[in-house]
Amino acid sequence: MKFRMKKQIIHFLLVVSIFMATKNINAQNSIGSFKKGDLLYQNSLATKDDVADWKMEGPGVTEFNDGWMEMYSPDEEFHHVFWCPKDFPGSFVAEWELQNLETDAGLCIIFFSAKGNNGESIFDPSFPTRDGTFNQYTKSKNFNNYHISYYANGKDNRAREVAHLRKNKGFETVQVGEPGIPIKSMAIHKMTLIKEDAHILMFVDDRIIIDWTDDGKKQPVWQDGKMGFRQMKWTHFRYRNFKVWELNR
């Protein structure tokens, strides 16, 4: 009897210690634990002029209504990527708001730390022209990046829901995370992407969906580079208030 009670007490203490450790990790990785530094970039995405220097690849179009930028492909022609022209550092906090306008199907991705193998801009004129075809971004011979799919309801993979973090080139799935934006949600959601050198986190509102640290063993940790919004051809979202800060922690 005493041995059984002792065993139960040890098991209870082990469960409590695991719970407290998990709680502490979650607290350390909450949005509030990352401090924003200087504001590096701010764009309301409210008008055509706001994105005059952005670059669309593929047959995506943008329209502007009520302070929002809508993005879609007319007649669901093909996938598309819309690149911000600025290069961001290897550590940052990025935020934007978005809303699904068509819940039948769609898939949203953020590319980040996108940069040429030898430090070139991804818009280097010597690179092949890109048209939104996925492997041009995930298996490029010219540049590298990370990407996170945070809304996943493609007609080719219905209601996957969970977020994926991949490291490119190579389309390597490095983390299958938590469910991203609910597939039928038409609410306004706030996305937060945090990169602290090798540590990558993403939040939908205040809920963490990706938390991964790159060990840099197979390929180096990707650092500074560009960000771009990718949508599959069935997608119709609208975006606003894109901001990026330096990370102070």
Do 153 and 72 reside in the same domain of the chain?
A: yes
Is it the case that residue 155 has pLDDT exceeding 60? yes
Mean pLDDT over the full length of the chain? 90
- How high is the pLDDT of residue 203? 98
Do 88 and 211 reside in the same domain of the chain?
A: yes
Do 20 and 76 reside in the same domain of the chain?
A: no
- How high is the pLDDT of residue 113? 98
212-230 mean pLDDT: 97
Residue-wise pLDDT for 56-93, tens only, equals 999 999 999 999 999 999 999 999 999 999 999 999 99
Domain with 153 in it: what CATH number?
2.60.120.200
Do 241 and 227 reside in the same domain of the chain?
A: yes
Do 7 and 101 reside in the same domain of the chain?
A: no
- How high is the pLDDT of residue 157? 66
Residue-number span of the structural domain to which 16 is assigned? 1-33
Do 189 and 206 reside in the same domain of the chain?
A: yes
- How high is the pLDDT of residue 15? 33
Do 210 and 112 reside in the same domain of the chain?
A: yes
Do 4 and 77 reside in the same domain of the chain?
A: no
* Count of domains for the chain: 2
- How high is the pLDDT of residue 12? 41
Residue-wise pLDDT for 12-39, tens only, equals 433 333 333 333 334 457 888 899 999 9
Residue-wise pLDDT for 115-133, tens only, equals 999 999 999 999 999 999 9
Do 18 and 42 reside in the same domain of the chain?
A: no
Instruction: Assess contact for 136 and 130: CB atoms under 8 A.
Output: yes
Do 116 and 10 reside in the same domain of the chain?
A: no
pTM of the model: 0.87
Q: By C-alpha distance, which of 128, 97, 106, 95 is closest to 60?
A: 106
- How high is the pLDDT of residue 32? 84
